[in-house]
Amino acid sequence: MNKVGGNLTIDIVTIFPNMFNNIFEESIIKRAKDKDKVIINIHNFRDYTLDPHNKVDDVAYGGGEGMVLMPQPIFDCVESLKKENSKVILLTPSGIPYKQKMAYDLSQEEHLIIICGHYEGFDERIRTLADIEISIGDYVLTGGEIPAMVLVDSIVRLLPGVIKEKSHLNDSFNENYLLDYPTYTKPRVFRGMEVPKVLLTGNHQEIEKYRLEESIKKTKELRPDLLEK
C-alpha cells in the first residue's frame, strides 16, 4: 500500500556532490522530479566545517590506517536539515542489508536524510544521528554515494504516480518472494528462439498459470533461498 498524495524530499549529505551530477536527470527519476513527486537536494558537508583549512577528516585515535570523517561537519549539516518528520539514514557496509520491503517503507516517509560515509570510516559518534543504518550488500565500496543512488532509485519508483502501480506489484522480491516471470516482446522468433506459445493464445487464465509456474521455476534455479521463506 502506498501513501496517498504528498511528496518526498530527499537530502543527500556527501563529500562528493559532483558524483550526483546527472544521475537523477534521466528517465523515471527525472520524470518524478519534473512531476514534483520528489525533491532531491545534494549537500556538501565540507561546507559546514568549522576548521580553518576546511578539513573534514583526521587520523584515528589509537592509530590505524587511513583517515576518519570527523563528527562536526556532518552533525552540523544534518542538524540544519532535520525536521520533525525526518528519517536519517546512514550508509555503511555494516548496516542492515537493504531489501525491497525497506524501499517500500522508506517510500512512505516524507523526508529522508541520507548520509554517505567515506574514506576509511567515520567517527563512531556519527552513528547517533541515524535512525537506521543501511548496507546495500556484503561488499565494500569506496563510499556511500553509489549506495545513496541505489536507495533513491529504488524508493522514487515506488512513489504514487511515478510508475504504474501494477508494474511494481509484480516486482521480484515483493512479499511473495518469487522472482519475476520471463517476459517477451517482438519478434516472435529471434535467432531461433521462440516466444512461448501460451503467451500468444490470449487465454489470460492459462497465461497467469504459466507465469506463476515460470516464476517458481526461475526462483528454484537462481534463488532457492527465497523459497525457504
State the cell numbers at 58. Answer: 583526521
CB of 107 or CB of 135, closer to ligand ADE? 135
The question of whether 160 is a catalytic residue gets the answer no
Q: Is 147 in the site for ligand ADE (CB under 6 A)?
A: yes
**Continuous segment of H or E residues that includes residue 117:** none
Q: Which of 38, 40, 68, 91 binds ligand ADE (CB under 6 A)?
A: 91
State the cell numbers at 32. Answer: 518524478
Phi, psi of 108 (to 5 degrees): -85, -10
Beta strands in 166-219 (DSSP E): 189-190, 193-194
Q: Which of 28, 59, 140, 222 binds ligand ADE (CB under 6 A)?
A: 140
Altogether, the residues listed in the chain come to a count of 229
Q: Is 139 in the site for ligand ADE (CB under 6 A)?
A: yes
Q: Is 121 in the site for ligand ADE (CB under 6 A)?
A: no
CB of 68 or CB of 178, closer to ligand ADE? 68
Q: Is 40 in the site for ligand ADE (CB under 6 A)?
A: no
State the Cα–Cα distance between residues 70 and 68, nearest whole angstrom.
6
Q: Among residues 76, 171, 180, 223, which one is catalytic?
A: 171
The bridge status of strand 193-194 relative to strand 189-190 is antiparallel
The question of whether 93 is a catalytic residue gets the answer yes
Q: Is 137 in the site for ligand ADE (CB under 6 A)?
A: yes
CB of 142 or CB of 205, closer to ligand ADE? 142
Mapped onto helix, strand or coil, the DSSP state of residue 136 is: coil
Q: Which of 14, 49, 92, 154 binds ligand ADE (CB under 6 A)?
A: 92
CA 167 vs CA 33, 141, 160, 170, 182: distances in Å: 19, 30, 12, 6, 14
Mapped onto helix, strand or coil, the DSSP state of residue 89 is: strand
Q: Among residues 120, 133, 153, 180, which one is catalytic?
A: 120
The question of whether 120 is a catalytic residue gets the answer yes
Q: Which of 19, 67, 102, 141 binds ligand ADE (CB under 6 A)?
A: 141
Mapped onto helix, strand or coil, the DSSP state of residue 68 is: strand
Tell me which residues are annotated as active site.
93, 120, 157, 171
**Residues at the contact surface with ligand ADE, assessed by CB under 6 A:** 91-93, 95, 117, 135-137, 139-141, 143-144, 147
